[in-house]
Amino acid sequence: MKTSEIKLGVNIDHCATLREARYRNNHNINAKIIEPNLVEMALAAEEAGSDGITIHLREDRRHIQVDDVWQIRESIQTRLNLEMAPTDEMIEFAKNIKPAFVCLVPENRQEITTEGGLDIVSHKERIRTVISEMKTAGIKTSLFIDPHPQQIEMAAELQSPFIELHTGSFANAYYDSDLKYKELEKLCNAAKIAHEFGIVVNAGHGINYTNISEVKNIPWLYELNIGHSIVSRSLSVGMHAAVTEMKKLIKG
Ligand code: PXP
């Protein structure tokens, strides 16, 4: 899918990271004073033009908690994109929460290719089951995968409606100009292959206010999911301004 404007999903996990730095195991102290308030941050992102809110409920609950997912789901006006590991527990949780999207991500060692996306080639039957169960529940699945043709072909075989290309290797290589362009080329090729299969292409991880100028030129992008850089910028200028700036760079 190509729209005139690439959409922006704001990942607010790191707002929860900051909260947990102080309040882990002490959420009942007094709900009013617990900060930062995730719903407030999500609503500020939306007000500034975010097209969706992304959160990752991890098995170790290191940042987002179950209550956060419910509260955000009930408060936002846009779309909730729930990142999750393809576990039985998370499948049941997603069916109850009913986000617009789930994005399947690796969480533990047997689910990852080295520092990369979900290895859907090795776990194809598991992923097939999750996509099918989500579809029955009216939830669209995205797969967070490395930009390797083999992974894209498997996403097509599994009839995943969306993928999210892992931009981490590109972001890490950003200051090595040879490597950077190799990584960018992999992303561009992967996006083209996915598009030819009719898969909608998202991308995310490590995207910031500098590398966005190149990331946004990956063909056929539907949505970018950006977390750390926006949350970090929000500490200086506030969430509304941080999202406004990123939207401007995406459009520019
Ligand atoms: N997309 C996915 C699937 C992620 O898991 C994350 C967070 O780790 C992001 C996007 C956002 O990455 P970042 O915080 O580096 O912008």
Domain ranges of the chain: 7-251
pTM of the model as a whole: 0.95
Token duo for residue 120: 């859907």
Ligand 1 atom having least distance to the Cα of 164: 3
The span from the CA of 98 to the CA of 123, in Å, is 24
Give the helix/strand (H/E) hosting 84.
strand 79-84
Is the beta carbon of 164 within 6 A of some atom in ligand 1? yes
pLDDT, residue 1, reads 47
pLDDT, residue 108, reads 64
Is the beta carbon of 117 within 6 A of some atom in ligand 1? no
Q: What tens digit of pLDDT does each residue of 195-207 get?
A: 999 999 999 999 9
Residue percentage of the chain with pLDDT more than 90: 90
- Mean of per-residue pLDDT scores for the chain: 94
Ligand 1 atom having least distance to the Cα of 207: 16
Cα three-residue angle 84-89-93, rounded to 5 degrees: 70
Is the beta carbon of 83 within 6 A of some atom in ligand 1? yes
* pLDDT confidence band for 162 (50 / 70 / 90): very high
Reply yes or no on whether the pLDDT at 233 is more than 60: yes
Of all protein residues, whose CA lies closest to atom 12 belonging to ligand 1?
Answer: 205
What are the angstrom distances between the C-alpha of 118 and each of 61, 110, 232?
A: 19, 10, 26
Q: What tens digit of pLDDT does each residue of 26-60 get?
A: 777 666 778 999 999 999 999 999 999 999 999 99
| C-alpha 206, offset from chain centre | 11
Pair 250, 8: CB distance under 8 Å: yes
Pair 127, 86: CB distance under 8 Å: yes
Distance 30 CA to ligand 1 centre (A): 30
End-to-end CA separation in angstroms for the chain: 20
Where in the sequence numbering do the catalytic residues fall? 56, 83, 205
Q: Kindly give the interhelix angle for 228-237 and 239-251, rounded to the nearest 10 degrees.
A: 130
Is the beta carbon of 103 within 6 A of some atom in ligand 1? yes
CATH number of 7-251: 3.20.20.70
When pLDDT is averaged across residues 168-175 and rounded to a whole number, the result is 97
